[in-house]
């Protein structure tokens, strides 16, 4: 299911625009283009069926999969790789569970082979996660940079998950990463975007797509990230752990589109004083 900005033109209104947003406003990562700017995950769902329906409802085109959990058939991940139609969804293997750069590099190689086995012969994408911190699940900046440098040399399109650190984001871009993925707040916390100032700096300076990953809990927070100028968002827990994941997935897809449209539209300036929307001259006395 492809999420494309719909035309809102009303044929009865002669001055209505044909399209509010150009249909060619695409997300491009490592030369591959996507209509949807929402990425989703596959973990924490109550069932495979709910996951499948949620992915479809969201309109996403990129789904991330934990290589280690799929390969070991960890509880909740049995049959997951076969549950998605990979002819229509682009796989983003991830190195979740890796605590060192060496582990992440090894798992990334397995992820590339897994994508090939599932029919995506040219898929060299990897979501890089190096997380030794078991309490707060914060990524290791040094290990992430070390792994990224090696994986780029091996031809991977590296999408690194990082703290909202503008200097690290720039360094990862310089070594050849395809995106940077700063966290909004800790993984699975649902705290929303707690690092807005740093994420704004990353967005301002990045020449690769910026994907806000982790911490988003509501559609309004997804819209906020997109209104800030993020190129995409990755959302898993907020969908999978909702009372109605399928409906929440749809809401997140719509919010991502709304936030992108708002960003492209250009918000009004913020003013210190009120400014009447109706003219104050020519009033009836």
Query: What is the CB-side half-sphere exposure of residue 10 using CA atoms within 13 A?
Result: 3
Evaluate the CA torsion angle 51, 29, 208, 114 in order and state its sign.
positive
Decide if 169 contacts 162 (C-beta within 8 A). yes
Q: Could you give the count of Cα atoms lying within 13 Å of 26 in the half-sphere of its Cβ?
A: 12
Q: Which of 127, 153, 170, 271 is catalytic?
A: 127
Torsion of CA 207, 213, 219, 221, to 10 degrees: -70
What distance, in Å, lies between the first and last C-alpha atoms of the chain?
58
Beta bridge partners of 233: 38, 212
Q: Which two tokens stand for residue 185?
A: 């707040």
Alpha carbon distance 123, 144 (integer Å): 21
Q: Would residue 170 show up in a list of annotated catalytic residues for this protein?
A: no
What residues are labeled active site? Answer: 127
């Amino acid at each position: 299911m492809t999420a494309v900005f719909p035309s809102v033109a009303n044929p009865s209104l002669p001055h209505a625009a044909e399209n509010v947003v150009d249909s060619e406003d695409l997300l491009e990562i490592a030369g591959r283009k996507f209509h949807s700017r929402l990425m989703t995950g596959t973990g924490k769902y109550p069932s495979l069926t709910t996951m499948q329906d949620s992915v479809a409802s969201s309109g996403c085109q990129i789904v991330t999969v934990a290589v280690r959990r799929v390969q070991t058939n960890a509880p909740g991940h049995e049959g997951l790789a076969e549950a998605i139609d990979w002819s229509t969804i682009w796989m983003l293997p991830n190195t979740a569970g890796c605590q060192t750069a060496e582990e992440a590099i090894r798992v990334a190689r397995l992820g590339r082979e897994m994508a090939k086995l599932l029919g995506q012969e040219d898929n060299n994408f990897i979501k890089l996660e190096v997380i030794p911190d078991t309490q707060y699940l914060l990524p290791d900046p040094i290990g992430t940079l070390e792994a990224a440098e090696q994986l780029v040399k091996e031809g991977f399109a590296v999408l690194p998950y990082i703290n909202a650190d503008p200097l690290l984001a720039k360094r990862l871009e310089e070594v050849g990463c395809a995106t940077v993925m700063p966290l909004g707040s800790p993984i699975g916390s649902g705290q929303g975007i707690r690092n807005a100032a740093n994420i704004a700096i990353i967005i301002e300076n990045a020449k690769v797509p910026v994907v806000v990953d982790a911490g988003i809990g509501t559609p309004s927070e997804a819209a906020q990230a997109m209104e800030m100028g993020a190129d995409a968002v990755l959302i898993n827990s907020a969908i999978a752990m909702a009372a109605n994941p399928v409906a929440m997935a749809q809401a997140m897809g719509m919010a991502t589109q709304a936030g992108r449209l708002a960003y492209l539209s250009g918000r009004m300036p913020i003013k210190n004083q009120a400014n009447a929307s109706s003219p104050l001259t020519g009033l009836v006395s």
